Amino acid sequence: ATTWTVVTPWPESNFHVKNLRDFAERVEEVTDGEVMIEVHAGGDLGLRGPELLTSVRDGIIQGADMLLTQQVGDAPLLGVESVPYLTRNHEDAALLRSMAWPYYEGVAAQFNQKFLYTVPWPGQGVFSKRPVEKVDDLRGLRLRTVDKNGTDFFNALGASPIQMPWGEVIPAFASGAIDGVATSSPSGVDGSFWDFAKHFNKLDWQLAPDVLSINLDAWNALSETQRAAIESLAAERQPVYQQSSKDEDDSATALLVERGIEVSAPDEAFSAALSEAAQPQWQAFRQSAGSDADALVKAYLEARDQ
């Protein structure tokens, strides 16, 4: 039997990890116990995120459930779904996801691996001490952002994006060193944000997809029937896992409400302002992420606006 070591940076209780464990069990089933996946969650092997693409390529591990936005240092195209407000709703997101997949497969092959399925994180919003319901509410708000997309986006909206590591966020939020955090609902639950914040506006301004990736040498070492079985399993489970992301968003949001956080969504005017603020970043992404990325965005926008 073959055993793959598969790593994910998320903690055991996270829904991506639950999906991964489910997938591991089913792989064992469909291959009659010939392929086992040993899941290492919570970064217990010292691998934390941005190096997972290369770690799978080099065969340090046989696979990883990784966040694509963390891999853009090696492969800029993988950031396409995270370009702010490029997708406005679930239909947009589904369209871009399916159009991006062939391009992802190309990047994967280039890095000696194979992507099996992709599951997005719930969309990102803003946790804050005071309500954020219109663009003016963002003015001067010291908001913790993670990446260049978020920093440029909220800068364009008049906020003051602040960078700091996740470990500093909670004490900083508690003491008022920052006024808000841009992240998803499950992360708000992970950090018990009801201790520090009163409001969560679900802007859905950014998508952050995870993929499960397997080293190509490990993959090719399997028999043809095993590969076919695993591939069809991945295709069958992907919609279930993607649904679990929505369910996770709903249950995390419900928990936030239960703990006293007021949850809101942007109205039409706010949404239009978000779209406008994001335009320069669409351009910047198309210019900097390579010709494939440019072609993909062009095709997506045409298909979306048809």
Partner 1 sequence: MSEQPVATVAPTGLDALVRRLVRGGNRLSQAAAALAAVAMASLFMLMLAEIVARNLYSRSLGFSWEISGYLLGAVIFLGSGWTLRNGRHIRIMLLLEHAGPRMRRGLDLIATLIAVLVVGQLIHAFSIMTWQSWANGVVSSTSEQFPLVWPRLAILLGLVVWEIQLLLRVLVLCLAPRLLNFDERQLETMS
Partner 2 sequence: MSAILLTLLGCILLLLSAGVWVGAGLAGVGVVLLEVFRPMMPVERLLSQTVWNTVTGPELVALPLFILMGEILFRTRLTKLLFDGLAPWVDRIPGRLLHTNILGCTLFAAISGSSAATTATVGRITSSELIARGYDARTAAGGLAGAGTLGFLIPPSTIMIIYGVLAQVSILKMFIAGIIPGLLLALCFMLYTGANAMIYPQRLPPREGPRPAFKDYVRALGQLAPVVLLIGFVVGSMLGGFATPTEAGAIGVFGALVVGALQRCLSPRTLWDALLGAAQVTSMIGLIIVGAVFLSVAMGFLSIPRTISGAISDLGLSPFMLILLLLVFYILLGTVLEGMSIIVMTLPITLPLVIQAGFDPIWFGVFLILVVEMAQITPPVGFNLFVINGITGLSIATLVRAVLPFFVIMVLFTLGLALVPEIVTWLPNRLG
Alpha-carbon dihedral sign for residues 168, 172, 173, 179: negative
Binding range to partner 2, per CB under 8 A, among 76-84, 106-114, 168-176, 282-290: 168-176
Name which of residues 180 to 239 contact partner 2 (CB under 8 A): 189-192, 195-196
User: Which string of x and - marks every residue 243-262 that binds partner 2 (by CB under 8 A)?
Assistant: --------------------
In the complex, minimum distance from the CB of residue 287 to partner 2, in angstroms, rounded to a whole number: 29
Among 36, 95, 156, 164, binds partner 2 (CB under 8 A): 164
Asked if residue 58 binds partner 2 (CB under 8 A), the reply is yes
Q: Where are the beta strands (DSSP E) in the chain?
A: 2-7, 35-40, 63-67, 113-120, 124-128, 142-144, 160-162, 180-184, 199-201, 209-215, 262-264
1-30 positions binding partner 2, by CB under 8 A: 5, 11-13
Please check whether residue 160 is in contact with residue 151, taking contact to mean a CB–CB distance below 8 angstroms.
Answer: no
Instruction: Supply the minimum distance, in Å, between the C-beta of residue 90 and partner 2.
Output: 27
CB-nearer residue toward partner 2: 171 or 239 = 171
Q: Is residue 85 within 8 Å of residue 274, measured between CB atoms?
A: yes
Report which DSSP code applies to 3.
E
Closest CB to partner 1 among residues 177, 301: 177
Q: Is 140 in the site for partner 2 (CB under 8 A)?
A: no
**DSSP code, position 191:** T
Q: CA triplet 238, 241, 242: central angle to 5 degrees? A: 85
